[in-house]
């Protein structure tokens, strides 16, 4: 899956789809898209600040806030589908986010989420659906 296909899939086809699986390529291409958009919004906020038409807090709150509100649901659904690709329930993502609010455990929780997203998904179908990279393969359960 390429950059444009990943962005199109997450934002149009699976905007709030919490079932199924998301491949590593879909996840990381969409994360790159989010970073690029945040970079552009940072430049826009910097322009507003330099022109004197907004304070730093106002510029970042308006521009960043609108982006976060727009992208929050697709990001959560993508993360849950990425966990499903590893054959892990999406409820574990919620547990890691809640643990991330504890000051000392927060960094470990963030590392755990990142590690789970870097690891390869399970081969063949699992309890959350077909393999997104090879939908035609079958898992031999009783081989």
129 forms bridges with which residues in the sheet? 126
pLDDT at 142: 45
Tell me what pLDDT residue 68 has.
Answer: 87
- pLDDT above 80 (res 141): no
Mean pLDDT over the full length of the chain:
86
| Percent of the chain's residues with pLDDT above 70 | 93
- 90, 17 contact by CB (below 8 A): no
The pair of structure tokens assigned to 47 is 């322009």
* 63-86 confidence digits (pLDDT tens): 788 888 899 999 999 999 999 999
- For the chain, which residues make up each domain, given as ranges? 3-118
Judge whether 81 and 14 are in contact, CB under 8 Å: yes
Tell me the whole-structure pTM to 2 decimals: 0.82
Per-residue confidence (pLDDT) for residue 7, from 0 to 100: 93
**Better pLDDT: 128 or 75:** 75
Q: Token digits for 141?
A: 């359960």
Q: Which residues face 126 on adjacent strands?
A: 129
Closest to 119 measured CA to CA, from 20, 45, 50, 28: 28
pLDDT at 143: 45
DSSP state for residue 126 in the 8-state scheme:
B
């Amino acid at each position: 899956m390429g950059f444009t296909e990943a962005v199109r899939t997450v934002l149009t086809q699976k905007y709030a789809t919490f079932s199924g699986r998301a491949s590593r390529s879909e996840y990381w291409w969409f994360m790159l898209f989010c970073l690029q958009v945040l970079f552009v919004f940072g430049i826009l906020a910097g322009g507003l600040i330099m022109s004197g038409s907004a304070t730093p807090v106002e510029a970042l709150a308006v521009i960043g806030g609108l982006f976060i509100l727009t992208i929050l649901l697709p990001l959560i659904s993508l993360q849950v589908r990425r966990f499903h690709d590893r054959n892990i329930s999406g409820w574990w993502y919620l547990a890691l986010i809640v643990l991330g609010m504890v000051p000392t455990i927060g960094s470990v929780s963030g590392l755990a989420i990142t590690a789970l997203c870097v690891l390869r998904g399970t081969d063949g179908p699992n309890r959350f659906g077909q393999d997104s990279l090879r939908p035609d393969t079958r898992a031999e359960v009783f081989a």
